[in-house]
Structure 1
Amino acid sequence: MISDYLPLLLFALVFVLILFGYPVAFTLGGLSVLAGVIIYDLDFFYLLSLRIYGTMHNFVLVAVPLFVFMGIMLEKSGLAESLLETMSHLFGRLKGGLAISVVIVGGMLAASTGIVGATVITMGLISLPTMLKKGYSPELATGTIASSGTLGQIIPPSVVLVLLGSVLNVSVGDLFTAALIPGILLVVMYILYIVIKAQLNPKSAPGITQEESDHFWSEGAWKRIIHAFVLPFALILLVLGSIFTGIASPTEAAAVGALGAIGLTALQKKLNFGIVKEVMRDTTFLTCMVFMILVGATSFSLVFRAMGGDKILADMITQAGLSPNMFLIVVLLVVFVAGFFIDFIEIIFIIVPVAAPIFSAMGIDLVWIGILIALNLQTSFLTPPFGFALFYLKGVAPPEIKTSQLYRGIVPFVIIQVILLIMVIVFPEIVSFLPNLNN
């Protein structure tokens, strides 16, 4: 029966229109409303209003604008610049030391902001010219900065994990706890790659001169180190510590983080009305974009399930004889390929709601699924042609940096992410260890 495949045709049509450049929120919402009116008549609008109200009543989603606000405010505070400059001198004498410092700072910024665009642009403006001037290969320099900037996708507090928690209907606190070890492992694997690369090809990753190092240590080095590290660590402790110890929910911790970011910006003497206005405007813009897509995705999910789409998919999997592991691999491959063409928010709100009920019916741990999808989504920021981290970095890179060098530079880091993804699939304990410890 052709009617049996209408939900899949609707799903395919959404993808095609998005690839043609139509706005995601209005494509999802518009097509869903048309299909819903055809199926339910005007009663669809009543059902839709109830569903949207139920989604917007989700207290967890309040964390999204708060974490976005925190990240943008910290980007304006100058904290990233202080961290990068200090760290580059601490590791500068090592072969590949500048690249290692970028990775560590990327991890720290991820744990304090979680905003990929701001992190990549900041590190690109500060570190890339320095790395190129010191003789780093353009591929290693750009690859390190772009991939380190995306660590905010997996290291909590992460907007991606908040959205995944909402869609998968699991605890965001559990997702944050479960993501900590994979996030740290990814940082360690990046550093190991840089160390090995620097040993095999020292010219691609030279250290700073003894004269530069001596100059740093002769001028109040310890005061600068303490100032650069204490402030971000205090914020990380406030936000993540309150979540992991159970003192605060992720939403409450996000509020603490937003207030802490204002305080840190004031301590840096950067807080003024202009900064506050700019941060609030950017936060409003990003939050509106996320929630408009969420409303469209809610409409799509309502219609797709009403048409029996989830049942059709489940029947197809049963008839195909796919085991839970095979279905997981298929979903991860779809997410990986989709990441080449569409944004991570779109993937979360289009693909994940379709697959989540099937994972749940198969008895698979949805927290584990959430971490796997988050790791997978991280590659969407790096994979051409639409890798947003690459666009951000290209926009602030010197004119001599070619797009082809950017693409070649991120290949090893994408491979590292895929290796970690496979490790987490094979050894689920990497994800479950900390949540089980808390329970």
Structure 2
Amino acid sequence: MEFLAIILFIVIFILILKGYPVAFTLGGISVAFAFGVSIFSPESFTMSTFYLLPSRIMGVVNNYVLMAVPLFIFMGIMLEKSGLAQSLLETMAMMFGRIRGGLAISVVIVGALLAASTGIVGATVVTMGLISLPTMLKRGYKTELATGVIAASGTLGQIIPPSIVLVLLADTINSASRGGASVDVGMLFSAAMLPGLLLVGLYILYILIKAYFYKEDAPGIPTEEIKAFRGGDFVGKILKALFLPVLLIVIVLGSIFTGIASPTEASAIGAIGATILTILQHKFSLKIVKEVIQETTRLTSMVFFILLGATTFTLVFRTLGGDQYLQELIVFSQLTPLMFLLLVMLVIFITGFFIDFIEIIFIIVPVVTPVFNALDINMLWVGILMALNLQTSFLTPPFGFALFYLKGVAPEGVETHQIYRGIIPFILIQLLVVSLVLFFPEIIFISS
């Protein structure tokens, strides 16, 4: 009767694609399905199994690692309110202004810095869309290039630590391993650094090549403006714009990589540091605090409700023998470990066209992790591949969230089809990096 677990997975997947709430679909359908099976096939599932659910839910709520999620969210939203992103973009634009495509390069670098200090795609894309998109269009940048650069740079927070995706991935892999190979969040952060920086470098390389062959698509900033900006205390402007956010990044990531603090402790440091930076920027107020707390509570509640629904689904799926059935299916089909990994990567990539990364993590990862462990595949490598793959879900039409965020703040005249066309080269770059990590896994082990 193990095939019933696969039917449950397919039913939930279809309902989520139709737009039903993820958290309640995962939990509600799992309970309803288990109830039906217990009536018609009591030997496959008994409702007494649900006595295990409260302890599992409390295990999620009490999970020390997951405490980092609301703290990193708080840190990101508070930094968005501080106004540092605007000063960073303005300063970087003038630093690279003489280079064709320099403004686009500055957007990529600022996106990477914001990724390492916030890790929230929505906040980064909206902030850079509001500040830099009108400026890029005004200076003659082709709409497709401008929107593509902003959307792609905004998603760097999903792979460059501290990343909420990496925190959730590590916890889900560890929960699903059941005594198999576990993945430490700190190790995942370290392993993700080089692939993340590789993405940044390839984005910049693409912009330089594009600007060289299509000069009208990415013009430079007029010399008069650069001279005007560089007049006075130019070094002071650079230090003021770069020093504070870089200092916060060094403190948060440095404390994790050196072992001084755990990711959860570092997230608390980051939350306090972001608040201090907001005070130093003279943007701190009770109104700001209220907005940050409300947004943090909303996002955290969404994540944890989905997580609790996923916990219910995983309990029912495993009790029905779904993970064991999947392993037997892989053995019977004679898939090699690499073939199975490629299949999972393809499924995650295609799924990313339609549903959010959180849903993919909590639905697909618990199902495939036991199989990866049975095939003795390194889960640190798999985790980074999944994170890179999940990053593309923010960019792939029709439901790429970064595209929605950008369209929501884009000036009048920027069409959806232009945003879709502009993002294609950056999706191809991301797939190139996924392929490099897939076939040259030493990339992640060098950085870890």
**Aligned residue number for residue 36 of structure 1:** 34
Which deviations, in whole Å up to 9, do the C-alpha atoms of 1:362-387 show, x marking residues without a partner? 11111111100000000000000000
Equivalence map 1:10-25=2 (5 Å):
10-25=8-23
**Aligned residue number for residue 142 of structure 2:** 137
Q: Are 2:269 and 1:248 equivalent residues in the alignment? A: no
- The Cα of 1:220 is off from its aligned counterpart by 2.3
**Aligned residue number for residue 114 of structure 1:** 119
Work out the CA distance in 2 between the residues paired with 1:232 and 1:309. 46
Equivalence map 1:37-436=2 (5 Å):
37-38=35-36, 39=38, 40-169=45-174, 170-435=183-448
Work out the CA distance in 2 between the residues paired with 1:44 and 1:8. 19
RMSD: 0.9
TM-score by length of 1: 0.97
Equivalent residues of 1:36, 1:44 under 8 A apart: no
Identical-residue share of aligned pairs (%): 63
Work out the CA distance in 2 between the residues paired with 1:75 and 1:176. 22
Work out the CA distance in 1 between the residues paired with 2:306 and 2:367. 16
Query: Structure 2: 5+ residue runs without aligned partners?
Result: 39-44, 175-182
Which deviations, in whole Å up to 9, do the C-alpha atoms of 1:162-193 show, x marking residues without a partner? 00010111100000000000000000000000
**SS in structure 1 opposite 2:2?**
helix
TM-score by length of 2: 0.96
Q: 338-347 or 54-63, which moves further after superposition?
A: 54-63
- The Cα of 1:57 is off from its aligned counterpart by 2.0
**SS in structure 2 opposite 1:341?**
coil
**SS in structure 1 opposite 2:74?**
helix
Work out the CA distance in 1 between the residues paired with 2:35 and 2:54. 13
Work out the CA distance in 2 between the residues paired with 1:165 and 1:433. 19
Which deviations, in whole Å up to 9, do the C-alpha atoms of 1:222-261 show, x marking residues without a partner? 1111000000011001100000000000000000000000
Structure 2 letter corresponding to 1:207: G
Equivalent residues of 2:74, 2:296 under 8 A apart: yes
Work out the CA distance in 2 between the residues paired with 1:360 and 1:75. 40
Work out the CA distance in 2 between the residues paired with 1:394 and 1:325. 38
Work out the CA distance in 2 between the residues paired with 1:416 and 1:219. 40
Choose which of 2, 5, 24 in structure 2 pairs with 1:4: 2
- The Cα of 1:424 is off from its aligned counterpart by 0.2
Equivalent residues of 1:64, 1:287 under 8 A apart: yes
- The Cα of 1:149 is off from its aligned counterpart by 0.2
Equivalent residues of 1:140, 1:409 under 8 A apart: yes
Work out the CA distance in 1 between the residues paired with 2:99 and 2:231. 19
- The Cα of 1:41 is off from its aligned counterpart by 4.6
Work out the CA distance in 2 between the residues paired with 1:363 and 1:19. 32
**Aligned residue number for residue 41 of structure 2:** none
Work out the CA distance in 2 between the residues paired with 1:135 and 1:428. 41
Which deviations, in whole Å up to 9, do the C-alpha atoms of 1:131-183 show, x marking residues without a partner? 00110000000000000000000000000000001011110000000000000
Work out the CA distance in 1 between the residues paired with 2:232 and 2:84. 20
Work out the CA distance in 1 between the residues paired with 2:298 and 2:253. 26
**SS in structure 1 opposite 2:132?**
helix
Work out the CA distance in 1 between the residues paired with 2:61 and 2:285. 32
Work out the CA distance in 2 between the residues paired with 1:44 and 1:366. 29
Query: Structure 1: 5+ residue runs without aligned partners?
Result: none
Work out the CA distance in 2 between the residues paired with 1:367 and 1:168. 10
Work out the CA distance in 2 between the residues paired with 1:124 and 1:175. 29
**SS in structure 2 opposite 1:385?**
coil
Which deviations, in whole Å up to 9, do the C-alpha atoms of 1:246-281 show, x marking residues without a partner? 000000000000000000000001111110010000
Structure 1 letter corresponding to 2:21: P
- The Cα of 1:395 is off from its aligned counterpart by 0.4
Structure 1 letter corresponding to 2:94: H
Equivalent residues of 2:158, 2:164 under 8 A apart: yes
Work out the CA distance in 2 between the residues paired with 1:388 and 1:19. 15
Work out the CA distance in 1 between the residues paired with 2:74 and 2:31. 32
Work out the CA distance in 1 between the residues paired with 2:154 and 2:309. 29
- The Cα of 1:20 is off from its aligned counterpart by 1.2
Structure 1 letter corresponding to 2:254: G
